[in-house]
């Protein structure tokens, strides 16, 4: 017996081991068609995020035996809506302010029609009048402003013709109150006598007849209103070449630059206690008017409601205008005079004594061409301008 347990005895023929059969030959088959290899699409890396476990909504603790109310959803803010509301409120406020100021104006029939009235002239013409009316002043105010008390019928110390052209600078012309002119229905007299005789309508008619320029707008201010407007603006700076002392006007001003208060400004535009008397007064009036309008239309005033509103209410409450004038007409006047303005006086021919006193004569050679340029909406020739 072998070690592997096989018996070593010989086997009979029938027991002889059979040779191993060879495996069957493979059948011939047609070669299979090779399918094209299809590749999987390129995969992009995807960032891995840990799964966020769902929040456990635990009910809030009950306080005092009563469950609290669920939180209210937050309201969405709409900043543009509030901005729109603010803009609308500002516009409504501005419109209401304009209406209030327009209703504060005192209107009078200044531009009355009459036969043979001068035809409409191009450009826009204003007649600005400063009167010595004291009806709205108390005794203390008259003393503060040095008005001299009641002097009879209302007169005018300041008469200015302002021409706003279609293009170019505005022209401001002083018409001396003592100008010797023809007053319709009253003969020859001083220009300011027309105001005392027939008020604003007769003054406008007299100016139109004398100049040939049709007046489109009229504005008149008294002593008290003038001073209040200056004070509302915080005073007006003026630079004087010489000191001015006038006890009748309550004025004692040194030479140099200084801020004039309302009473001081009123005395400055009224005084004749200077070497050239009425001529100096006209220069002072034009100079002060330019400085006042420059400050009133400056960005420091227009952008400051605490300065703009007192000034606007002071002007509106102090002015007398024609029936057809409005606050926006006055705003257009101030805007037209905010920049460079030609300031001059009617050409003067001299002075003479008449039955109505000492009067001022217009230059017969220069005055017609001077006013003809204004009537034609042209700039006044340089040789006719009085500085």
Q: What is the pLDDT of residue 94?
A: 87
pLDDT band for 135, please (50, 70, 90 cuts).
low
Can you give the residue ranges of every domain in the chain? 97-232+262-384
pLDDT mean over 217-235 = 87
- The mean per-residue pLDDT over the stretch 343-363 comes to 93
27/10 Cα distance (integer angstroms): 41
Question: 175 pLDDT band (50/70/90 cuts)?
Answer: very high
Domain range 97-232+262-384, CATH class? alpha beta
pLDDT, average across residues 247-255: 87
Lowest mean pLDDT among 7-21, 36-50, 181-195, 209-223: 7-21
Instruction: Give all strands (DSSP E) within 99-183, no chain letters.
Output: 106-108, 124-131, 156-164, 170-174, 180-183
Q: What DSSP assignment string belongs to 328-339? A: HHHHHHHHHTSS
The top-scoring range by mean pLDDT among 6-10, 150-154, 170-174 is 170-174
- Asked if residue 39 has pLDDT above 80, the reply is no
Residue 38, pLDDT score: 60
Task: Provide the pLDDT for residue 8.
Answer: 54
Q: Which of 58-67, 94-103, 314-323, 367-376 has the largest mean confidence? A: 367-376
User: Interhelix angle for 305-318 vs 223-232, to 10°?
Assistant: 170
On whether the CB atoms of residues 107 and 329 are closer than 8 A, the answer is no
State the CB neighbour count (10 A cutoff) for residue 348: 18
Tokens at 270, concatenated: 């009224």
Per-residue pLDDT for 164 more than 90? yes
For residue 172, which of 290, 279, 280 has the smallest C-alpha distance?
290
How far CA 153 is from CA of 76, 134, 145, 313, in Å, comes to: 69, 10, 19, 27
Q: Is 31 helix (H, G, I), strand (E, B) or coil?
A: coil
**Phi–psi pair at 174, nearest 5 degrees:** -85, 130
236's tokens: 């007006």
Report the distance separating Cα 88 and Cα 67, nearest Å: 45
Helix ranges (DSSP H) in the chain: 79-104, 139-145, 191-211, 223-232, 262-270, 278-296, 299-302, 305-318, 327-336, 367-375
Predicted model pTM: 0.74
The pLDDT assigned to 156 comes to: 84
Write down the mean pLDDT value for the chain. Answer: 82
Q: If you ran DSSP here, which 8-state letter would residue 57 be given?
A: -
> Over 60: is that where the pLDDT of 296 sits?
yes
Ramachandran category for residue 39: left, alpha or beta (phi over 0 → left; psi -120 to 50 → alpha): beta
How far is it, in rounded angstroms, from Cα 169 to Cα 44? 76
pLDDT in tens, 230-250: 988 889 999 998 999 998 888
Bridge partners of residue 127, in order along the sequence: 161, 218
**Beta carbons within 8 Å of 308's beta carbon, 6+ residues apart:** 301, 302
Q: For residues 81 and 86, what is the distance between their CA atoms, to the nearest angstrom?
A: 9
Beta-carbon contacts of residue 354 (< 8 Å; ≥ 6 apart) = 180, 188
pLDDT at residue 365 in the model: 94
Share of the chain above pLDDT 90, in %: 41
Please compute the mean of the pLDDT values over residues 198-213 and round it to a whole number. 96
């Amino acid at each position: 017996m072998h070690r592997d347990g096989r018996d070593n005895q010989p086997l009979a023929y029938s027991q002889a081991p059979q040779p191993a059969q060879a495996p069957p030959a493979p059948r011939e088959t047609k070669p299979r068609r090779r399918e094209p290899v299809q590749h999987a699409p390129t995969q992009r890396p995807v960032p891995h995020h840990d799964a966020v476990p769902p929040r456990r909504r635990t009910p809030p603790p009950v306080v005092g035996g009563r469950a609290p109310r669920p939180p209210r959803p937050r309201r969405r803010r709409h900043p543009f809506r509030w901005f729109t509301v603010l803009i609308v409120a500002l516009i409504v406020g501005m419109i209401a302010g304009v209406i209030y100021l327009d209703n504060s104006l005192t209107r009078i029939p200044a531009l009355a029609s009459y036969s043979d009235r001068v035809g409409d002239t191009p450009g826009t013409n204003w007649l600005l009048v400063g009167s010595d009316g004291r009806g709205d002043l108390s005794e203390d105010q008259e003393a503060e402003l040095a008005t001299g008390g009641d002097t009879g019928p209302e007169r005018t110390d300041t008469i200015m013709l302002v021409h706003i052209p279609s293009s170019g600078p505005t022209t401001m012309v002083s018409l001396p109150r003592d100008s010797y002119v023809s007053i319709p229905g009253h003969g020859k007299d001083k220009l300011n006598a027309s105001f005392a005789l027939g008020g604003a309508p007769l003054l406008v008619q007299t100016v139109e007849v004398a100049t040939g320029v049709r007046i489109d707008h009229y504005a008149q201010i008294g002593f008290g209103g003038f001073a209040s407007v200056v004070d509302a603006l915080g005073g007006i700076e003026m630079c004087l070449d010489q000191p001015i002392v006038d006890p009748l006007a309550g004025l004692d001003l040194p030479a140099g630059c200084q801020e004039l208060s309302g009473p001081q400004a009123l005395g400055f535009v009224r005084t004749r206690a200077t070497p050239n008397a009425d001529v100096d007064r006209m220069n002072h009036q034009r100079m002060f008017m330019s400085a006042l309008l420059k400050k009133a239309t400056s960005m420091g005033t227009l952008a400051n409601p605490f300065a703009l509103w007192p000034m606007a209410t002071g002007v509106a409450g102090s002015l007398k205008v024609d029936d057809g004038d409005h606050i926006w007409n006055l705003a257009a006047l101030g805007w037209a005079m905010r920049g460079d303005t030609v300031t001059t006086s009617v050409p003067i021919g001299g002075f003479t004594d008449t039955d109505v006193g000492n009067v001022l004569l217009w230059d017969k050679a220069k005055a017609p061409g001077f006013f003809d340029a204004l009537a034609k909406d042209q700039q006044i020739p340089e040789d006719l301008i009085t500085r």
